[in-house]
C-alpha cells in the first residue's frame, strides 16, 4: 500500500485484533507508517466471525491458532510448524550441497 499523501510505499508496523486494540467487534487493526512524510496510517478491517476465525489458522498444518500464546506463534502460524519447515529447508539445502560436493569431487577425479 502506498502513502495517501506522497505515494511512497508504506512500512507495515503491526497487526492487532480489535480485542487487543479495545475496539468492539471482530477485526484487525493494521498500523502502517510512511518513511518519507511520516504519515501514520491505521487500517480497520472488520470480519464476520467465520472469516475472522479463518485468519487464525496455521498456514502450515491448518489448525486453529486463535487460542495459542503469541510466544508460540509466528504471525498466525505455529512456531513449531514454521521451525519444522525451516529445518526441512536447511536439510534439503544440506543435501543439495552434499550432492554438489560429490559432483565436484567426481569432476576433479576425471
- Measured from the CB atom, the residue of 11 and 90 that comes closer to Zn ion is 11
Interaction of residue 1 with Zn ion, rule CB under 5 A: no
Torsion of CA 82, 87, 88, 91, to 10 degrees: 170
Interaction of residue 78 with Zn ion, rule CB under 5 A: yes
Task: Pick the binder of Zn ion from 18, 27, 52, 81 (CB under 5 A).
Answer: 81
Interacting stretch for Zn ion, rule CB under 5 A, among 17-25, 42-50, 53-61, 92-100?
53-61
Phi and psi of 44, rounded to 5°?
A: -100, 120
Per-position DSSP letters for 30-96, written without gaps between them: EEEE-TTT--EEEEEEE--HHHHHHHSB-TTT--B-TTS-GGGEETTEEHHHHHHHHHHHHHHHHHH
- Which residues ranging from 19 to 38 are in contact with Zn ion (CB under 5 A)? 34, 36-37
- Residues lying near Zn ion in the complex (CB under 5 A) are found at 3, 5-6, 8, 34, 36-37, 39, 58, 60-61, 78, 81
Amino acid at each position: 500500500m502506498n502513502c495517501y499523501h506522497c505515494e511512497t510505499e508504506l512500512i507495515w508496523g503491526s497487526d492487532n485484533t480489535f480485542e487487543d486494540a479495545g475496539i468492539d467487534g471482530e477485526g484487525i487493526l493494521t498500523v502502517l507508517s510512511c518513511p518519507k512524510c511520516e504519515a501514520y496510517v491505521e487500517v480497520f478491517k472488520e470480519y464476520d466471525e467465520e472469516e475472522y476465525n479463518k485468519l487464525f489458522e496455521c498456514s502450515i498444518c491448518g489448525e486453529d491458532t486463535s487460542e495459542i500464546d503469541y510466544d508460540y506463534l509466528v504471525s498466525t502460524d505455529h512456531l513449531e510448524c514454521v521451525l519444522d519447515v525451516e529445518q526441512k529447508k536447511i536439510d534439503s539445502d544440506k543435501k543439495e550441497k552434499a550432492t554438489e560436493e560429490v559432483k565436484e569431487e567426481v569432476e576433479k577425479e576425471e
